[in-house]
Homo-oligomer: A and B are copies of this chain.
Amino acid sequence: MAELADLATLEMLASWDQLVMMPGEGATGRGHQLATLARLTHERATSDELGEWLSELDGDDLGDLERDIVRVARRDWERARRVPSDLAAEISQAAADGQESWHAAREADDFSAFAPSLQRNVELAQAYGECLAGEGESTYQALLDDYDFGLRVEDLRTLFGSLSQSLSALVEQARGASAPAEPAIPASVQEQAVMATLRRIGVDQSSWRVDVSAHPFTAWMGRRDTRVTTRYGDGGVESLLSSLHEYGHALYERQVDPALERTNLGTGTSMSIHESQSKLWENHVARHPAFAEVMAAELTGAGFSIDPAELHSALIAVEPSLIRVSADPLTYPLHIVLRFELELAMIEGDLAVSDLPGAWREGIERLLGLQVPSDALGCLQDIHWGGGSFGYFPSYAVGCLIAAQLWETLERDLGSREEDLRRGEVAPIRDWLEQRVHRHGRRLDTVPLVEGATGSGIEAEPFLRYVAPFAAG
């Protein structure tokens, strides 16, 4: 388990380096290095030897932690063994080709150039899901389990159904309000304010890095080497939001119980919980009116005078738009609901790849009331399907819901965070998250974790209560 954990860390290092440090012409070599790492990892993760060790341990008198290690190791081993190496290699090749074809098709706004790759990815995902699906389980369920083990497709359907109804009503309500203009903050000011804000909440040089990359992301090389990235290009508030978002991912990994380090349980448990941690810091801290005072002070200190209320208005402005990654907090989950509906239909054979652009247009009009002028601004905007990822999108919305549930519970336990946030004091939030969420690592799956932390299953109401005021403008 320690060896597999080290290999996973090396894979993360090689990917981080590629996106942040590597000179461009190193790409071919890096591809080889990553493929070799993946092959070695797969060999070890699926070895007969590992299965034998697990069988031997079954009879032993194990402590709680050891039992969890063996339980999850067996689950991972069995799932990994069900996928033939040839299929895994085909998937990985098709994903590389698909991403390349997607890039070109989006540039050219030409869906037909992407359709064959997408078709291939769908077929391979179906084959992959069939290998993994349990008795009477759907293919899509098996794909979802890769990202969020134990989250049920039926429950998602119900949850997203009521969520999209309620949100569409709020979108209607918001349509009347006028969104404030986004402040034009110079990149150097953004950078200074982001760095100062991160320092206030615990980001120091001894165990963190903050770098720039084309798309913000977080990497962790063990608990004491955490690396977040952001970008300062847009002239608006994106860097403030995204740096807090990435901080949430990073903090999760840093606060896993040290006893789990270099075991198979020593990382975040699922995509939804990870996203709930980033969304908690993005939505409930960075978008909190009291914390706007901290960020406005840092911006002002960096030479860009701005009123906290004005900053906060920009941070919570609602305006239905075509692009997911720049969507406001209220409409964001609707972008996800659409993707969930469409990928589910494609995997289940209810939607032909050639019908995707039309279904996308229909969905955007139904959910957001907008016309899609081109596929580049429609179904070609995200890389996920090009890379063969199906079952990943839901976690973006589920994360928003769980974040709101956790925040309500946290404020019930600790009292309103307003006074603390006004002073940039987040230690009680960090400690609460460590106890309720982070320390468990992979010992608890998504649903039991949420139930343990909040006392109820995943639900939409707390999120709806959180966004409702934004609709009023």
Interface residues of A (CB under 8 A from B): 2-3, 6-7, 9-10, 13-14, 17, 21-26, 28-30, 32-33, 35-37, 39-40, 205-209, 221-225, 262
Contact = CB atoms under 8 A, between A and B. Distances in A.
22 contacts: A6-B36, A6-B37, A10-B14, A10-B33, A10-B37, A13-B13, A13-B14, A13-B33, A22-B225, A23-B205, A23-B225, A24-B206, A24-B207, A25-B206, A25-B207, A25-B225, A26-B207, A26-B225, A29-B223, A30-B225, A33-B221, A40-B40
A39 B44 CA distance: 13
Contacts of A30: 221-222, 225
A267 to B, nearest CB: 13
Contact of A224 (B13, B28, B33, B35): B28
B9 A29 contact: yes
Contact of A209 (B10, B13, B23, B221): B23
Contacts of A14: 10, 13
B205 A26 contact: no
Given A9-B33, A33-B9, A33-B10, A26 B262 contact: no
B36 A221 contact: no
A209 B29 contact: no
A35 B35 CA distance: 20
For the complex formed by this chain, how many copies does it contain in all?
2
A209 B14 CA distance: 16
Contacts of A224: 23, 25-26, 28-29
Contacts of A2: 32, 36
A225 B29 contact: yes
A147 to B, nearest CB: 25
A224 B28 CA distance: 9
Contacts of A6: 32-33, 35-37
A205 B24 CA distance: 8
A66 to B, nearest CB: 20
Contact of A36 (B3, B23, B25): B3
A167 B14 CA distance: 47
Contacts of A13: 13-14, 17, 33
Nearest to A32: B6
Given A6-B36, A30-B222, A32-B222, 20 more contacts: A3-B40, A6-B33, A6-B35, A10-B37, A13-B17, A21-B21, A21-B209, A22-B221, A23-B205, A23-B206, A23-B207, A23-B208, A23-B225, A25-B206, A26-B207, A26-B222, A28-B222, A28-B224, A29-B221, A30-B225
Contacts of A28: 222, 224
A7 B26 contact: no
A393 to B, nearest CB: 32
Nearest to A22: B225
